[in-house]
Amino acid sequence: MDNAGKGNLVGKPAPEFTMPDVNGRPVALSSFKGKYVLVDFWASWCKPCRMENPNVVAAYNRFKDKNFTVLGVSLDQAKEPWLKAIKADKLDWPQLSDLKFWESPVVALYGFEGIPFNVLLDPEGKIIAQGLRGADLESKLAELLK
C-alpha cells in the first residue's frame, strides 16, 4: 500500500540533501530545521501524486501557521511540466528538483520505489512518520500540532 522503500525510516535522522528550487537556487533540507516538515516526493507525470496533492494542500493550509511546512521534491525530467503542475495544483511551498527523474540521488537516499512518497520530520530533523496519505496526513498533524 504505501511505498515504504527500503524499510522503515521512522526514528532516524532525515538524510541531508541539497537541490535546486524552481529558480535554480540550491536549498538544503537542513535549512528547514526548527519546523515540522513534510518532505513530499512527487512528479508532474505521476497521476497518484497529482490526486494526492489536494490533500497535501489542505494539510498545508490548515497547519502552515503552526510551525509546519511542506518541501516538495520532484522526480520530473523537464522543468516546464513541473512548473505547470506546481501552479495548476496550487503548491505554495518550496519545490525542489534536480530534474534527474529516478536517477536523482534522493531516491537512493530515502530508498523509495514509488511515488507519491513522503516523510514527516520533527523540528530536530528526525523522521517521525512516513507514507502519510489522505486523511492520515491531517490526523497525524492534528495530533502533533495542537
How confident is the model at residue 79, as a pLDDT?
97
Beta bridge partners of 117: 41
Tell me if 40 is assigned to some domain. Answer: yes
Grid cell 513541473 — which residue?
A: 82
- pTM, to two decimals: 0.94
Domain that holds residue 58: 33-144
d(CA 100, CA 69): 24
Tell me if 8 is assigned to some domain. Answer: no
Averaged in consecutive runs of 10 residues, what is the pLDDT profile of the chain (146 residues)?
A: 60 97 98 97 98 97 97 98 98 98 96 96 97 94 92
How confident is the model at residue 42, as a pLDDT?
98
How confident is the model at residue 146, as a pLDDT?
79
Tell me if 120 is assigned to some domain. Answer: yes
Number of structural domains found in the chain: 1
How confident is the model at residue 6, as a pLDDT?
52
How big is the chain, counted in residues?
146
How confident is the model at residue 5, as a pLDDT?
47
